[in-house]
Amino acid sequence: MLSRRAELFVGLGVIGMAAILLWLLIPGYITIPRRVPIPALSPAFWPNVIGWTMLLCGVLLTARAVTAPPPPDSIADDLRFTRPELLRVGALAVVLVTAYIALPIVGMVWTCMIVYFLMVLMTGAKRPIWGTVIAILLPLVLFYFFTKVAGVAIPQGRIVRLP
């Protein structure tokens, strides 16, 4: 549970990120064909869905922070971030930046396996064995579905290529 002030800043931050995504990044960096028969097949469809969902969540978080009553003093003292939480957020940033850099080299499937496994470890999952199994199987199943059934090319790396 966050304090009202922190929740307000998170809500405003999410609104800002959604605005940048919707009005700068999507129109500037996604090429949209003129005639797409089904709107869900447009390259900008899912980024727009994500952007509008982020905007809605940011507005709801901000409204909740503004209208919620202040927490009692005993609870308000416990709402500060501790050192392990900040280290976890820093580790998440390192993992995501490393995944971004490794994606063209290693490929999407292998990068997703490693990132998912690291997320299982970082979150302290109750069943890490199941998380490891899912980290291996989910990217492989999705890869084979998209390449064999849907006919969509998944980015492969330069090191290891899947059939």
156 has which bridge partners? 107
Q: Residues near 12 by Cβ (< 8 Å), separated by ≥ 6?
A: 58, 62
Query: Mind giving me the DSSP string for 85-102?
Result: HHHHHHHHHHHHHHHHHH
Q: Identify the DSSP state of 81.
A: P
Do 87 and 145 share a structural domain? yes
Give the per-residue pLDDT at 25. Answer: 93
39/144: higher pLDDT: 144
Residue 79 tokens, joined: 């709402």
Query: Model pTM?
Result: 0.59
Give the per-residue pLDDT at 134. Answer: 94
Which residue type occupies 33? P
Give the per-residue pLDDT at 131. Answer: 92
Confidence label for 79 from pLDDT (cuts 50, 70 and 90): low
Distance separating alpha carbons of residues 158 and 163, to the nearest angstrom: 13
Distance separating alpha carbons of residues 158 and 103, to the nearest angstrom: 10
Do 57 and 13 share a structural domain? yes
Residue 114 lies in a domain: yes
Report whether pLDDT(74) > 60.
no
Q: How many CA atoms lie within 13 A of 125 on its CB side?
A: 16
Q: Each residue of 91-137: pLDDT tens digit? A: 999 999 999 999 888 988 999 999 999 999 988 888 889 999 999 99
Give the per-residue pLDDT at 2. Answer: 66
153/93: higher pLDDT: 93
3-state secondary structure of 159: coil
Give the per-residue pLDDT at 139. Answer: 92
Do 98 and 60 share a structural domain? no
Do 142 and 111 share a structural domain? yes
138/5: higher pLDDT: 138
Q: Each residue of 21-60: pLDDT tens digit? A: 999 999 998 888 888 888 878 888 889 999 999 999 999 9
Residue 155 lies in a domain: no
Give the domain extent around 61.
Answer: 4-67
Residue 116, Cα to own-chain centre: how many angstroms?
Answer: 11
Give the per-residue pLDDT at 146. Answer: 84
Do 128 and 96 share a structural domain? yes
Distance separating alpha carbons of residues 11 and 64, to the nearest angstrom: 9
Residue 132 lies in a domain: yes
